[in-house]
Structure formats: structure tokens, C-alpha cells
Structure 1
Amino acid sequence: LERIVADVGAAVVVCEAATREKVVAAVPDGAVVVAGDATPASGGEGGFAPMVAPDLAAVIYTSGSTGEPKGVTLTHGNMSFVADSIIESIDMEPSDRILCVLPLYFGYGLYQMLTCVRLGATLVLESGFGAGGRIVQLLEEREITGFAAVPTIYQLLLSLPGIGEHELPHLRCLTNAGAGLPTPVVRAVRSAFPDARLYLMYGQTECQRVCRLDPEEVDEHPDSVGTAIPGTEAWVEDEDGEVAAPGVVGELMVRGPHVMQGYWGNEAATDRKLRPGRWPWERVLATGDLFRADERGYLYFVGRRDDIIKSRGQKVAPREVEDVLHAFPGVRDAAVVGVPDDLLGEAVHAHVSAEPGVELEAKALKRHCAGSLESHMVPKRIVIHAELPRIGSGKIDRRTLAGWSPRG
């Protein structure tokens, strides 16, 4: 918090009353802290100047799960477009009642609120997602029609006894973003909530939402995130800067009114992320994520470019190893990271946690991997945890795992 407040030069910080002391200690002298229901002092007469689409609306910081958080600058035009495109792409209606258990500083959570405000739908807020039973209670009692979650939340719900026996006649839409939903979990969610349409989506803070898979295609393509959201373009670019052929892995590029203006106060990082576009005034987003596309144009996430492991002179995409681990009975979470190794260059290390009541053995997991993966992709070490570390948005904290040791 202290780094972000200093980076953006915040004049006012709004927080919950319970966190006031912590916030006051973090903000620089001169910044005003507004806690709880307090009202900030008036800034003078005249009110606010009218805003137009190119005006700055928000600086949203990246999660920091793989690197230092960066401030993503978004205009009113950026954010209005994304909200409208999401509404269209998942068929939201004014009568919807959306349950949000995600933090509102997380882009995925924030847009639950913005789409509801934009459409006039009802937003039901619940602080935190640690209690799966509480989520089910709200789904039933508040007649929720739409629910947004990350893989951690879906796995939490699936661990509840009899989750598929609840009658949820109003629930018609489920979405997943923030991290890819493993194929076994996709199938389990479809089984537990058969009457709800499941949207598999992908996005980045730098443009909020990139693509989504139509629910009718989920059973056939459970490992895909579909095609670009309405009004935008997304394609895979090969090493020569051309559109990659089907099946060829390359960097995902994104074009549209949702692409950020740049990183706050970080021109070098902006220049690496935004590339010249089709028109002289346009820039497209180089996501830094590796994808492939099939013959129909459906997109498949392979891994983050920065996460690719180079072991024995060959590249290993963590997602491929994680998918194999998730297919082992009883595995709840899996994260694969590269660790410096004098002989291999980088060693493949896997971190897993088990479903409640299940005991996993590292040797059995390694044999399972050896039966499904090429030898250079088989983890050199598999560590079993009670729980994998996470950041506030629910994503697995890969930076912590990369530096993990038996001594902590």
C-alpha cells in the first residue's frame, strides 16, 4: 500500500474504519485519509468539472503475483467500453442479481460493480470468500442470477458435501477469470451447476477483458478461452511479427478501445507493452502471454512469457505440467515454477495441495507426470502443501513459491 500510494501521488485515500491506523501509517504527509462513513472536507465551491471519454478515470495496479505492481492508466472511454462489452458478451440483463465476493481493487471484482451500475442490475457484495457455505447460502437466499469467481472459489465450492444437490433455479450465469480453470474443475463445475451457463474468460489489468468462450462450446473446448469480446480483436503473433498459423505458439496481441493508455510514471514499461498499431495514432497491447489458436480461431492459454522455464535447453510451459497434475485424483491446486539449477539451467519444481481428506505422495505424482510428459518437463521436485500461498485476489503467489525452501 505504501509503495502504491507514493507511486500514484494520492491526495485522498478512502478505507474501511478497521484499517484506518494501518493506512495512516502508510500514506505520505499531506494525504487525507477518509475512513468508514466519514465525509471528506469540501475541496471548494463549484463541484466537479464534467468528464469526457479521454479523461483519466482510474489507475488500477496489477496484482503483483509475478512481479512488482504497475499502475495501469484507464480513461472513462476505456472503462465504459469494457463494461458495455462484458454486458453484451455474457448477456447481462437489468433484472440480474450479481453476487461479488472478489475484492473491488481487483479488476475482475471492480467490473462486477461497474457492469451492474451501467446496466441498473443488483449487486450483492460479500466480504471475502473463505466460507463456501456462506456463498451457497447467498446464492439461495438472495436469488442470485450471476456469480463471478476464480479457480480458488470454484474449488472451495466443489469441496462442499452435496454441492450439486442444492436447488438454484435463479442461477443462470457463472464466469471464471483471473486464472485459468483446470479442465477437471471445468467438468466438475458443469456437473455441480448444470443449469448455469459457464463462461471461461481471459483478461489482463491492461485491458480488463480480452476474450470469452461461449457456454455452448465449454464441454467440447474446456481448455479454451474462446474469441475476442465484442468490438475488439485478439490474435497470436509469431516470432516474425506475423499472425501465427493454427497450433503455433506465440504472443497474444490485443486491439480495441479497451487497451490502456500506459503505465503510470513508467514510460519504459509502457513502450515494451504498447506497440504501433494499424493507424499512426493507434497502439496495440502486447500481452506478454503465450497462446495458440486453433483452425476456428479459438484461443488457448499456454503460459506467461516470463514464467516459461528453460530446462535442459528446452522450454517448459508451467500450464502444461499443471494440467497433468490437476488430472491426478485428489489434487486441488498445482503451481509449477522454475528454480535456478547448476546442471539444468532451471529445474522444474511443482507445488501442490490436496482435496480435503486426501493424502498425496510426491513419488506417485512424479510417476503420473512421467507417464504423460516428456522427460524434461517432469518436475525434479514436487512439494505438497496444506495450502498454496495466495495474494488478495485469490491468485496463487508464484513469486513466493519460486523462492520457497523447506525452511520457509
Structure 2
Amino acid sequence: MRFEQFLIDNAAAHAAKTALITDRKRLRYDEFDRLSSQLAASLSRNGVKRNDRVLVFMDNCWEAAVSIFAVLKAGATFSPINSSTKADKLAYIIGDCEAAAILTQAKLMPVVGDARALAGDAMLFVASTAAPNGQVPAGATAFDTCLEGEPQPVVHGGIDVDLAMLIYTSGSTGRPKGVMMTHRNIDAASGSITTYLRNQHDDIILNVLPLAFDYGLYQLLMAVRLGATLVLEKSFAFPHAIFERIREEGVTGFPLVPTMAAMILQMRDLEPGFLPSLRYLSNTAAALPPAHIARLRELFPGARLYSMYGLTECKRCTYLPPEELDRRPGSVGIAIPNTEAFVVDDEGKRVPPGVPGELVIRGPHVMQGYWRNDASTERMLRPGPHPWEKVLYTGDLFQADAEGFLYFVGRKDDIIKTRGEKVAPKEVETVLHSHPGIAEAVVLGVPDPVLGHAIAALVVRSDQTLSDKDIIRHCSRHLEDFMVPKVVEFRIELPKTDTGKVSRRLAAETMEPAE
């Protein structure tokens, strides 16, 4: 079915239940349903049609959540855009998907104005009643105006193979690409994830990740699917305030990324079990180092910890059942329910256990392709085991153990060749993260006239007395000689993408040039 039906059904069954909690507003399911229907009707009256693309350019706020479901109810396709996006990138996205509308906030109007000047006009709504000067910006319609009147269902004739969302990748190399996901895709992904997380309708999930990041977005989608409650926060900049929020609301689920885990583990005043309501923690975006997994389990003894792997092109690929953490702390697990994951060589043939190769994903949550980008689509979606299907080639190197549990090796294009040997940065980073004085680390190759490339490590210290020689000695005890970093540089923080993931590309750009 179309995904907005989950909101409609839960509003009918649990009208008074709290659906969404933000710093400014709490919405019951019936309120959430009514507001999104009112906005959908307004979008329709103003020309938004079935399968049109509508940008949701907002931070984490109640208006963003309402906007996403309003776009779906209007029969259109939503595209969540990170609120930190600059005008030139926004202009590119507007032009690339031919956006019919932009739902935004008054504080982001200068960026939208500049983008529209570059890309040409799109219909525009603003998610605040007024700009700071008390006036609705020129060319915009006040969000509150769109929520007036009785909600009338929009009859659009859409079905579940229509595009539900278009998510633009971060664009770390070249222009961002729009990942096309149908209602059927997100139904399959959200159903699989809520199954292995053992989510329930009485879960209270806290999300600090941007709704423009698919990991953050799915917290909203999964909560609405279940009829659960989502506590939506703007960031993890003030962890103690977030912890207090978890206690106040009785939060049961807390999705993390590795940078958040690193922040938590640097805090010295936390006692094990200090957030007793938590039932589970989850991690994706990048693999958690085994040392961080062990310390998180000590801090949250009553919570199940799910180590996961995924990518925007299929949302989620694998998860490690928490009962396997002791035996396989370095694994990202097995395929999620109703999914097949396998490792192949350069010719597309499956490889035996222990042999690295590219991970391939087969399942109903695999994207339809990249928006108007056939060349990139053909690189990622290739013929599968059966004549009727395409499967997703992830571009990531994995190997499986004898029981089929998967281990991330690295990006195919991240592999460093040094002294004639191949080095996966992830393997070196795991050793670095095992040192108690290191909070975060990223490894990359830098040109070297003798070695071809030398191994370099950028490190954030939690122990300021730690020296580069200490780190090299630590690595020498755990790694083969050719894998030991030759260069160690200290940083106050590591460069990250908009989604909070450490960026190897940006890290390379900050390296000091070799003498």
C-alpha cells in the first residue's frame, strides 16, 4: 500500500496517542493526520500533481514531519534536503528534479532566494508564519495559511509503485545523485527493520539525526508505521540535554552514528545504566569499532545494541543480532529479513568464505535507480541471478565467515596500495580505536615516492598526552609492518559530511603537504 496510509490508519485507531514530540509542539496522531491532510489539500490547490517532486528543506521540526506526509497525501514525491545545504547545491537539485514546490523555513529563505535566482522559480511555501521582520517573505506563502480550513482528501490515483521519495546522496564525488524509492521500497525496508529491532507500538524513539539523512528519516517512517512515538531533536550538540530528554520521555530506542558514540565515550561522568528506559541502541553510517561496542555495552547494560550496515540505495543491508556481539564484535552481521546479501569477485561470481569481494544486495528495498542518470544506475544495478531482476552492487568490499556473517573491509576505491600490498583503512582504524586515548581516527593513503602511498592517520585524542610515537608503537603491536601508519596528525575534530559521517575525502584535503 502507499505509505501515507499508515498515518491515516493509526490516526483512526489511536487518535489521542502522541505521535511526535518536538521542542515547540507535541502532536497526537489525529492532529498529525489532520495537519498533513490540510497541507496536502493546499499543495494540490496550488498545482502540485501526482508524481511531482517537492523539496522539504527544513531542520528537524514538526513542520518537516507534517510536510513529508502531506507531500505523499498529495500524490507527489518528497525530497528531504539538509538544512545546511548551500544555494548552489540547492539550485542544482531544484533543476535536476524539476521541483514543483519547496517547503522551507523563514530562516532558510536567503538560501532559497539565491537558489531560485540560479535555478529559476519553483512554487514556494515557508514553514514559519513570518520572517524575523514580521512579514512573510516575498514570493512565499505562510505555512499557517496552508493549514486553514477543513482537510479534504486529495484524489490523485497514486499506487504503491509510484515514487515516494527522492533522496540526494551527499555528492562527495561530483554532483549529487537522486536515489529513487517507491512506496513499495520504503514499505519493505521499514517493515524489515522494525522486525529485527523488535519494535512495538509503545516504543518511544529519540532521533537527533537529520530527517534529510535516510537513517534519521526512517525513524519517522518506522514510528508512523508502528503507531509509535518519535521524539525529534535538532542535534546531539548538547548530549546531557539529550540524556535528560530520554529520561523525561521514557525513550526506548536511540539510533546512533559512530561520531555520537565517540562523544558519549569521552564523557567521564556517566555511570552504567544511567538511562534505564532504553531497550535498544542502533548504529549505522559506518561500523562501530569493537572497542567502542564493548564500552557502550558497559554503559547501557539493559539495552540491546544493533550494529548495522546500509547505504542510501537500499536503506539497510545487514544487522548483527545482539546475541552475536561477543563472538563476532567486528561483524556487521547477516542480511536483514527478506533480503539476500552475498559477496562476489570482479566477474560477479560468488566467492568462498574468507575471500574479499564486492557486496551485492538482492531484495524489495533496492532502489529503482538514480534520477535521470542512466550511467550511474547501470554501474550500481546489474543483472541478478534470475532473468527478471536487477541487484545492487554496493561498491563496498566485504568478506564472509564460514557461517555467513559479513565483515566490512572497505570501499573499493578506498583501498591503499603501499609497498606492493593492499591495505584496507578500516582494519587500521579498528586498531587505532582500540587505544583508550583515541576518540576518533581516520586512515588514508598519501603519495610517497618510495612506497607509492604511505599510510596516514588523522587522530582526535581523548588523552592529550598521547604522542604520535605512542600511536605508532600501538599499531606496531597489532598490525603488519606495511599497515602501520607512517604519518600521524592530530586534530581537534575530524571533517564530516552533512550526515555526521567522517569523510575520508575531506580528511585527505586537510592533510599537510609532504615536504
Q: Same fold (TM over 0.5)?
A: yes
Moved more, 390-399 or 184-193: 390-399
Aligned to 1:402: 508
Is 2:184 aligned against 1:105? Answer: no
Aligned to 2:121: 30
Aligned to 1:365: 471
How far 1:352 moved relative to its partner? 0.8
SS at match of 2:441: strand
Aligned to 2:351: 244
- The structure with more helix, counted as a fraction of residues: 2
How far 1:76 moved relative to its partner? 0.9
Gaps of 5+ in 2: 1-89, 129-141
Letter in 1 for 2:295: A
Residues 65, 398 of structure 1: 8 Å contact kept: no
1-side partners of 2:175 and 2:449: how far apart?
27
Residues 23, 33 of structure 1: 8 Å contact kept: no
Normalized against structure 2, the TM-score is what?
A: 0.75
Deviations 1:100-127 (A, max 9, x none): 0000010100000000011100000000
How far 1:307 moved relative to its partner? 0.8
Normalized against structure 1, the TM-score is what?
A: 0.94
2-side partners of 1:272 and 1:170: how far apart?
44
Aligned to 1:306: 413
Residues 234, 253 of structure 1: 8 Å contact kept: yes
2-side partners of 1:156 and 1:239: how far apart?
39
Letter in 1 for 2:227: G
2-side partners of 1:89 and 1:102: how far apart?
21
- 1:2 corresponds, among 64, 88, 91, to 91
1:212-223 paired onto structure 2 within 5 Å: 212-223=319-330
Moved more, 337-346 or 315-324: 337-346
How far 1:48 moved relative to its partner? 4.7
SS at match of 1:164: coil
Aligned to 2:203: 96
1:2-401 paired onto structure 2 within 5 Å: 2-27=91-116, 28-37=119-128, 38-39=142-143, 47-65=154-172, 68-165=175-272, 167-355=274-462, 358-401=464-507
Gaps of 5+ in 1: none
Letter in 2 for 1:174: L
Structure number with larger C-alpha Rg = 2
How far 1:50 moved relative to its partner? 2.9
Deviations 1:259-318 (A, max 9, x none): 111111211111111110133231000000000111111111110111111122221100
SS at match of 1:111: helix
2-side partners of 1:173 and 1:7: how far apart?
39
1-side partners of 2:509 and 2:274: how far apart?
44
Residues 11, 30 of structure 1: 8 Å contact kept: no
2-side partners of 1:15 and 1:97: how far apart?
27
2-side partners of 1:116 and 1:147: how far apart?
12
1-side partners of 2:146 and 2:246: how far apart?
39
1-side partners of 2:494 and 2:175: how far apart?
20
Residues 243, 275 of structure 2: 8 Å contact kept: no
Moved more, 240-249 or 80-89: 240-249
Deviations 1:9-45 (A, max 9, x none): 2221222221121122123222123222433879xx9
Identity %: 49
1:363 and 1:167, CA in 2 relative to 1: closer, same or farther beyond 3 A? Answer: closer
Moved more, 140-149 or 277-286: 277-286
2-side partners of 1:398 and 1:137: how far apart?
33
How far 1:52 moved relative to its partner? 1.3
SS at match of 1:82: helix
Aligned to 2:38: none
Residues 272, 298 of structure 2: 8 Å contact kept: no
2-side partners of 1:264 and 1:397: how far apart?
24
How far 1:68 moved relative to its partner? 4.5
1:375 and 1:68, CA in 2 relative to 1: closer, same or farther beyond 3 A? Answer: farther
2-side partners of 1:166 and 1:215: how far apart?
18
2-side partners of 1:359 and 1:19: how far apart?
43
Moved more, 337-346 or 220-229: 337-346
Deviations 1:102-155 (A, max 9, x none): 000101000000000111000000001111111211111110000101011112
How far 1:393 moved relative to its partner? 1.1
SS at match of 1:178: coil
Residues 273, 302 of structure 2: 8 Å contact kept: no
Residues 133, 160 of structure 1: 8 Å contact kept: no
SS at match of 1:5: helix
1-side partners of 2:273 and 2:108: how far apart?
36
Letter in 1 for 2:257: V
Residues 272, 300 of structure 2: 8 Å contact kept: no
Residues 100, 124 of structure 1: 8 Å contact kept: yes
How far 1:241 moved relative to its partner? 2.4
1-side partners of 2:287 and 2:504: how far apart?
14
Letter in 2 for 1:2: A
SS at match of 1:2: helix
Residues 468, 489 of structure 2: 8 Å contact kept: yes
1:369 and 1:116, CA in 2 relative to 1: closer, same or farther beyond 3 A? Answer: same
1:256 and 1:5, CA in 2 relative to 1: closer, same or farther beyond 3 A? Answer: same
Letter in 2 for 1:142: E
Moved more, 251-260 or 163-172: 163-172
2-side partners of 1:246 and 1:71: how far apart?
34
